[in-house]
Structure 1
Amino acid sequence: MFKNKIIIFSLVATIAIASSSFFYYKKTTKTEISLYQTVTPSTRDIQQFVNSSGTLKAKDQITVGSLVAGRVVKIYAYDNANVKKDQVLLEIDNGKGYSDVKRIQHLLGEAKAQQAYQEVFFKREKALYDLGQIAKNTFDEVTTNLNVAREKVKALEAQLEIAQQEYDNLFIKSPGDGVVIAKKIDLGQMITSVLQATELYIIAKDLTKMEINVDVDEADVGMLKEGQSARFTVDAFPKTHYSGIVNEVRYLSKIVENVVTYAAIIDVANPDLKLRPNMTADIYVEVANEKNALCVPNKALRINDASLEKIAQKLQYSFTKSSFEKKKGHDDFIWVVDGKAFKQILVRLGATDGKYTQIVTGLNKDSQVIIDITEEAKEDKFLQGMFKGKGGIG
Structure 2
Amino acid sequence: MSTPRPTPSPSRSRPRGRRLLIVAVAAVLVVLAALAWFQRDAGPSASGYRTAPIERGDIRVGISATGTLAAISTVDVGSQISGQVTEVLADFNDQVRQGQVLARIDPSTYEAQIAQGNASAAAARAGLATAQASLRNAEADYARKAELGSRQLVATSDIDLARASRDQARAQVEAARAQITQQLASTRTSRLNLDRTVIRSPVDGVVLTRTVEPGQTVAASLQAPVLFQIAEDLSKMEIVLAIDEADIGQVEPGQDVGFSVDAFPDRQFRGTVQQVRLSATNTSNVITYPVVVAVENPDQRLLPGMTANAEIEVSRRDDVLRVPNAALRFKPADDQMSATATPGTRGGGPVEDLARLAGRMELDATQQAAFDAAATALRERTAARTAAPATTGGPSMFGGRGGAGGNRDAPDGNAMRQRMQERLAQQFAAFRATLSETQQATWDRELAALAAARRAPLYLLVDGAPKLVTVRVGASDGSFTEVSGAVAEGDAAIVGTERPGAR
Q: What is the TM-score when the length of structure 1 is the normalising length?
A: 0.70
Name the CA shift for 1:226/1:319 in 2 (closer, same or farther; >3 Å).
Answer: closer
Q: How does 1:158-173 map to 2 (within 5 A)?
A: 158-173=185-200
Q: In structure 1, what is the equivalent of residue 413 of structure 2?
A: 326
Aligned residue among 113, 122, 128 for 1:100 = 113
1:84 aligns with 2:97: yes
Cα distance in 2, alignment partners of residues 341 and 281 from structure 1: 46
1:266 aligns with 2:293: yes
Q: In structure 1, what is the equivalent of residue 403 of structure 2?
A: none
Residue 348 of structure 1 deviates from its aligned partner by 5.7
Name the CA shift for 1:83/1:119 in 2 (closer, same or farther; >3 Å).
Answer: farther
1:145 aligns with 2:269: no
Higher-Rg member (1/2): 2
Contact 2:327 2:458 in 1 (8 A): no
Amino acid at match of 1:327: N
Identity %: 29
1:358 aligns with 2:482: yes
**Local SS of the residue matching 2:104:** strand
**Local SS of the residue matching 2:212:** coil
Q: In structure 1, what is the equivalent of residue 81 of structure 2?
A: 68
Q: In structure 2, what is the equivalent of residue 45 of structure 1?
A: 58
Residue 38 of structure 1 deviates from its aligned partner by 7.8
Q: In structure 1, what is the equivalent of residue 280 of structure 2?
A: 253
Contact 1:319 1:343 in 2 (8 A): no
Cα distance in 2, alignment partners of residues 174 and 229 from structure 1: 35
Name the CA shift for 1:320/1:66 in 2 (closer, same or farther; >3 Å).
Answer: same
1:109 aligns with 2:126: no
**Local SS of the residue matching 1:267:** strand
Q: In structure 2, what is the equivalent of residue 349 of structure 1?
A: 474
Q: What per-residue deviation string (whole Å, max 9, x for no partner) do you get for residues 316-346 of structure 1?
A: 6734144723239x86563446999999979
Q: What per-residue deviation string (whole Å, max 9, x for no partner) do you get for residues 238-289 of structure 1?
A: 2233332322222222232333222222222222222222222222333322
Residue 166 of structure 1 deviates from its aligned partner by 2.7
Contact 1:333 1:344 in 2 (8 A): no
Amino acid at match of 1:358: E
Contact 2:82 2:218 in 1 (8 A): yes
Q: How does 1:298-313 map to 2 (within 5 A)?
A: 298-299=325-326, 312=334
Cα distance in 1, alignment partners of residues 326 and 221 from structure 2: 60
**Local SS of the residue matching 1:225:** coil
Residue 169 of structure 1 deviates from its aligned partner by 2.4
1:295 aligns with 2:322: yes
Residue 69 of structure 1 deviates from its aligned partner by 3.3
Cα distance in 2, alignment partners of residues 128 and 247 from structure 1: 80
Q: What per-residue deviation string (whole Å, max 9, x for no partner) do you get for residues 43-75 of structure 1?
A: 432222333222222222211122223443321
Contact 1:318 1:341 in 2 (8 A): no
Name the CA shift for 1:314/1:231 in 2 (closer, same or farther; >3 Å).
Answer: closer
Name the CA shift for 1:190/1:296 in 2 (closer, same or farther; >3 Å).
Answer: farther
How many pairs were matched up? 337
**Local SS of the residue matching 1:283:** strand
Contact 2:110 2:191 in 1 (8 A): no
Unaligned runs of 5+ in 2: 1-45, 147-158, 339-390, 400-411, 416-451
Cα distance in 2, alignment partners of residues 242 and 315 from structure 1: 49
**Local SS of the residue matching 1:213:** strand
Residue 40 of structure 1 deviates from its aligned partner by 7.6
Contact 1:319 1:342 in 2 (8 A): no
**Local SS of the residue matching 1:354:** coil
Cα distance in 2, alignment partners of residues 297 and 106 from structure 1: 90
Cα distance in 2, alignment partners of residues 63 and 297 from structure 1: 53
Cα distance in 2, alignment partners of residues 71 and 371 from structure 1: 77
Q: How does 1:125-274 map to 2 (within 5 A)?
A: 125-132=138-145, 135-193=162-220, 197-274=224-301
Cα distance in 2, alignment partners of residues 95 and 358 from structure 1: 76
**Local SS of the residue matching 1:100:** helix
Higher relative contact order structure (alpha carbons within 8 Å, sequence separation ≥ 6): 1
Which has more helix, going by share of residues?
A: 2
Cα distance in 1, alignment partners of residues 413 and 493 from structure 2: 18
Cα distance in 2, alignment partners of residues 40 and 320 from structure 1: 27
Residue 142 of structure 1 deviates from its aligned partner by 0.7
Q: What per-residue deviation string (whole Å, max 9, x for no partner) do you get for residues 132-180 of structure 1?
A: 3662111111111111111122222222222322333232221122221
Q: In structure 1, what is the equivalent of residue 443 of structure 2?
A: none
Cα distance in 2, alignment partners of residues 223 and 353 from structure 1: 14
Cα distance in 2, alignment partners of residues 171 and 355 from structure 1: 62
Contact 1:321 1:345 in 2 (8 A): no
Which has more strand, going by share of residues?
A: 1
Cα distance in 2, alignment partners of residues 241 and 337 from structure 1: 38
Name the CA shift for 1:220/1:151 in 2 (closer, same or farther; >3 Å).
Answer: same
**Local SS of the residue matching 1:166:** helix
Q: What per-residue deviation string (whole Å, max 9, x for no partner) do you get for residues 374-393 of structure 1?
A: 9xx99xxxxxxxxxxxxxxx
Q: What is the TM-score when the length of structure 2 is the normalising length?
A: 0.57
**What root-mean-square deviation, in Å, do the aligned CA atoms of Structure 1 and Structure 2 show?**
3.9
Contact 2:235 2:296 in 1 (8 A): yes
